[in-house]
């Protein structure tokens, strides 16, 4: 089971994306902001952080930086309304970005790519 922490402030987008990434081998916890994500005592149990970049309060980029601070090998998928690729390596080696407007197949391909890396590491 791969566990995802998904952060998106827009409730409709949060619900829609969570439904898109639902699968039998995935556990998804969806939250409305970075502060709620950082307040979780169990956040270390999540394999992947998927977050919107533009969040009220703490941004998705700052959340990602805090997410990988303790373990730079953690995986992050940043979702944005605009092209965002520059500087990803400065956040962490396993940080990727995808447009929010991406087709569901593109999102699924990005998640499967992360899951392949996680599975290979576990072997």
pTM metric for this prediction: 0.94
CATH number at residue 33: 3.40.50.2300
- The pLDDT, as a whole number, for residue 122 is 79
Domain that holds residue 94: 2-122
Low-confidence residues in the chain, pLDDT < 50: none
Q: Could you report the per-residue pLDDT of 38-63, keeping only the tens digit for each?
A: 999 998 899 999 999 999 999 999 99
100-122 in b/e burial notation, b at 16+ Cβ within 10 A? beeeeeebeebbeebbeeeeeee
Provide the domain count of the chain: 1
């Amino acid at each position: 089971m791969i566990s995802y922490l998904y952060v998106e402030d827009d409730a409709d987008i949060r619900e829609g994306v969570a439904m898109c990434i639902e699968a039998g081998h995935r556990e998804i916890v969806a939250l409305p902001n970075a502060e709620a994500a950082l307040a979780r005592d169990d956040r270390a149990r999540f394999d992947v952080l998927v977050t919107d970049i533009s969040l009220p309060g703490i941004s998705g980029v700052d959340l990602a930086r805090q997410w990988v601070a303790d373990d730079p090998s953690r995986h992050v998928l940043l979702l944005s309304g605009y092209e965002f690729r520059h500087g990803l390596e400065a956040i962490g080696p396993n940080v990727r970005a995808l447009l929010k407007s991406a087709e569901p197949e593109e999102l699924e391909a990005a998640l499967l790519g992360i899951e392949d890396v996680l599975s290979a590491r576990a072997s």
